[in-house]
Amino acid sequence: MFDRAEIEVKAGDGGDGKVSFRHEKFVPFGGPDGGDGGGGGDVIVRADRGVTSLKFFRQKRRFKAASGGNGGGKKKHGRKGEDVVLGVPVGTVVSYKLQIAGDSLIADLEKPGQEVVVAKGGRGGLGNARFATSTNQAPQIAEKGEAGEEHSILLELKLIADVGLIGYPNVGKSTLLAAVSAAKPKIASYPFTTREPVLGVVEVGQRSFVLAEIPGLIDDAHLGRGLGHDFLRHIARTKVLIHLVDGSSASPAEDMAKVNTELSLFDSALASKPQLLAVNKIDLAPVRERLDEIKKSLADVGTKTFLVSAASGEGLPGLMEAALKVLRSTTAGRAGAKTPRKVFHPKPRVSKKARLP
């Protein structure tokens, strides 16, 4: 899965200021006319709807913006370095990789066109014309350009979907997604058929929502076992979860409890998301015979239970209607909440003057 990448970025250095004096015929006492250096180019990360994965950043990991041009005589300003713009999928979280511990969030690019500067270009140095005063009319100094910022950046794609379909491997998530939408996920009888999230649009009457099949997980997924974090990471943005359990399992209630435990251990906020429980494979005779037993075992789970068959379509319309209802209720509740503004803390620049030959 190409949904996480680490890259190195280097902004362009600022150009040097120029030490220069006017040397023109019939212009006595020509003063300083050294120009400023141009600023270095920035490295910018931008959310692009046309980009669907971070695969490109597995092939190329280092990016450098152009440096600014040096100042010239006659107060000519050096050119500004060209920026480097990196296109990433919508839903990418951009963070600085810290050497001590943890990561430092830069931005969460949730909408197409959103962008953030991850490495700021160095400021161009001032030419000697800037240092002329009444007492120093022929300054022999200019500034060197500042170095551009250099960082290790983490790019992490978190799926943007309304409803997430979760559960153990092989419980029928791919079959259900294919039955309620036009998505065509890979369907097979072995675990981990789905290696990455699959999206489908579900239409319920005049409304619709995006349903994402999240790859199955196993015990200790929060520690990275199986698909591990590749599974759990994508649940973060979903507003509602449909928890699918296998009706032919020895204990569907225990399966659900284990999956929710993995969610809690990875991020306590995940397990608190609204959930609908769906018991699949009720079209099988052995499952139908023990429906009463299954209902009794799931009576205390704290969420409404739906009996469905992804293969035959039985019970799916009611499940999708309920998912839409919970989704609308959840979205309405969040609409009034204020979204915290992202605050960026620029590093102070240290200007160093240097005497140029």
Parts of the chain belonging to CATH 2.70.210.12: 1-157
CA distance 152 to 142: 32
Kindly report the CATH number that applies to the domain delimited by 1-157: 2.70.210.12
Percent of the chain's residues with pLDDT above 70? 81
Mean pLDDT throughout 211-233?
58
What is the reported pLDDT for 140? 92
Give 343's pLDDT tier (boundaries 50, 70, 90).
very low
State the fold for domain 163-335.
Rossmann fold (3.40.50)
What is the token pair recorded at 57? 């950043």
Statement: residue 307 has pLDDT above 60: yes
What is the reported pLDDT for 99? 65
Of the two residues 12 and 297, the one the predictor is more confident about is 12
**Four-CA torsion 86, 151, 68, 18, nearest 10 degrees:** 170
Q: What is the pLDDT of residues 24-47, one digit of tens each?
A: 777 667 789 999 999 999 999 999
Parts of the chain belonging to CATH 3.40.50.300: 163-335
What is the token pair recorded at 133? 């005063």
Mean pLDDT for the chain overall: 83
What is the reported pLDDT for 118? 95
What is the reported pLDDT for 334? 58
What is the reported pLDDT for 17? 96
- Cβ distance 36 to 77 under 8 Å? yes
Q: What is the pLDDT of residues 51-103, one digit of tens each?
A: 878 888 988 999 999 999 999 999 999 999 999 999 998 889 999 987 665 56
Percent of the chain's residues with pLDDT above 90? 48
Give 335's pLDDT tier (boundaries 50, 70, 90).
low
What lies within 8 Å, CB to CB, of 28 at 6+ separation is none
Tell me the pTM: 0.67
- Cβ distance 115 to 108 under 8 Å? no
Of the two residues 293 and 342, the one the predictor is more confident about is 293
**Four-CA torsion 84, 156, 338, 272, nearest 10 degrees:** 180
Mean pLDDT throughout 254-283?
85
